[in-house]
Amino acid sequence: MFLQAALVALVACSAVGARHGDASPAAAAAAAASPPNIVFILTDDQDVTLGGLEPMKQLKTLIREQGVFFDNAFVHTPICCPSRSSYLTGNYIHNHGAVNNTIYGNCASYNWQKHAELNTYATHLKKAGYTTGYVGKYLNQYGFKQSGGPEHIPPGWDHWFGLVGNSKYYDYNVSNNGVSEHHGTEYATDYFTDLIKNNSVQFLKKTIAHSPSSPFLLVSATPAPHGPFTPAPQYSHVYDGKRAPRTPNWNYHSEDKHWLVRTTSTMDDRHINGSDKTFEHRWETLLSVDDLVGEIMSTLEEANVLDNTYVIFASDHGFQLGQFCIPGDKRQPYEHDIRIPLMFRGPGIPKNVTLHQIALNVDIAPTMVALSGQEAPQEMDGRSLKPLLVSGGQEEATIAGQPPVAEWRDDFLIDYHGEGNPPCGLSACPGPPLSDFHITDASNNTYTCLRTLSTTANTIYCEFTLTNYVEYYDLSEDPWQLKNAAKTANAALIAKQKARLQQLRECSGPSCHQ
């Protein structure tokens, strides 16, 4: 188990908290007077491995340096709708049922609405007396006719301002509390990240003014830095000439990878230039997200509720730009795709602390429920991070029957269901160069992995279901996953990994917690 690192991190957390003060007297008084507020800022496709946090200076000073940063935060699946479904429900794919970004893959489908959507962190906090608001991107198929249209407001939300469909910056529709609202191409009125910022601030001011002693939940879910990578006009040339990081696996062709990666060729100048331009624009779109962070934090402070508010920042998955010759995408079981930024600040959370325990997107829902003072539901596959974040959290977890911090998880499940059809196996059959394969997806890009991270192991074992192919990497020796070691690794070790992976494929609730 991840015993030593967990205990060391917990001791460090307590020590730093003691130096800085776990919370101000005002925070303690506010926490005693009313349940804490929760603000969750969620970005789209923001990596942490390739420098995705660097443009966001306000985020660094207002949240990261004022709270806790998890440097081993991951998503269970590197794709939008299934990952967001895991955030909402606290469940792995095999338990919430959304396997890809399509209606037939259960993304925002009627089946999703009748089952998983009834049990999200919003429904739990609403029952606990929270005023709730959602602003921004929800699920990729939300708001279309086949998913109930913009009239459908997911349960648990008092204020609803949800994007219809996938990420956009201009020319889109939103459901404004169940009424379809079109936005065009004018920056001042339509740029979606700014609209999310303004709507979020309005929700905060209205909610606090109406009921200053009642707790609230706000989710601000931005399109950035997802494609089409459209920066605000004032930021459109800030990073001109910025290139994607030339990591050891950048433009690296390998024959010992699964089919979708193996069948590509190295990127030509067209792909390299396009990938670099994408990197540049992604950073520029994040400057508007940074403005959103600053505006939300100043609103909380001006309303005198910041000391009693937990603020969470995360992304729905990572991204890659040229790694393994993929010009720009996610969907792969490699570190740049599955690692995410994750940070918390709030009452009782020490300042400027880095924790090393594994934190997952499935942990956010039970963490929100626990931070609100409730017991996290047993049916959630994730585990509350509260014992790691605040003093007294471990005692609450023990009362609720949760494993002690010293027995924190040291592995987890990664799951991805590829899309595609014959004759080429892709969702669309591109022509040459083969690098173009990676703007699409393949049905045989379907896999489950066991990611292990402990004091003695730093590995990933993956099984590609439709091709009976295996990849295995020891990241302590091969951090950029250049050489597939599945055929040379110890057979007994591989067998153990295989058995553990099968356990997690079938886990539910408490059996997923360790």
Query: Do β-strands 172-176 and 458-464 pair in parallel, antiparallel, or remain unpaired?
Result: unpaired
Here the CATH number for the domain that contains residue 377 is 3.40.720.10
Residue 137 lies in a domain: yes
Q: Is residue 428 part of a domain?
A: no
| pLDDT given at position 425 | 66
| Active-site annotation, residues | 80
Q: Give per-residue pLDDT as tens, 334-366.
A: 999 999 999 999 999 999 999 999 999 999 999
Residue numbers of the domain that contains 135: 3-237+273-397
- Give the whole-number percent of the chain exceeding pLDDT 90: 80
| Confidence check: pLDDT of 28 > 50 | no
In whole angstroms, how far apart are CA 76 and each of 127, 179, 319, 393, 504?
27, 33, 14, 24, 12
Asked whether residue 262 carries a pLDDT value surpassing 70, the answer given is yes
Q: What pLDDT does 146 receive?
A: 95
Check residue 352 and give its pLDDT.
96
Three-class DSSP category at 343: strand
Q: What is the pLDDT of residues 110-147, one digit of tens each?
A: 999 999 999 999 999 999 999 999 999 999 999 999 99
Pick 455 or 1 by higher pLDDT: 455
366 lies in a domain? yes
**Is residue 210 situated within a structural domain?**
yes
Residue 444 in contact with residue 464, Cβ under 8 Å?
Answer: yes
* The pLDDT of residue 513: 86
Give the model's confidence band at 263: pLDDT under 50 very low, under 70 low, under 90 confident, else very high: confident
Q: What was the pLDDT predicted at 391?
A: 74
Q: What is the pLDDT of residue 154?
A: 98
Token reading at 355: 């924790």
In the predicted structure, residue 409 carries a pLDDT above the cut 80: yes
User: Is there a contact between 344 and 312 (Cβ–Cβ < 8 Å)?
Assistant: yes
Q: What is the DSSP string of 39-105?
A: EEEEESS--STTSTTTT-HHHIIIIITTSEEETTEE-SSSSHHHHHHHHHHS--HHHH---SSSTTT
In a domain, 377, yes or no: yes
Quick check: is 65 in a domain?
A: yes
Is 336 domain-assigned?
Answer: yes
Inside any domain, residue 229:
yes
- Domain total for the chain? 1
Residue 26 reports pLDDT greater than 80 = no
Question: In the prediction, which pLDDT does 440 show?
Answer: 63
pLDDT of residue 265: 83
Tell me the pLDDT tens digit for each residue of 424-448.
666 665 555 444 544 567 888 899 9
Looking at the predicted structure, is the pLDDT value of residue 214 above 70?
Answer: yes
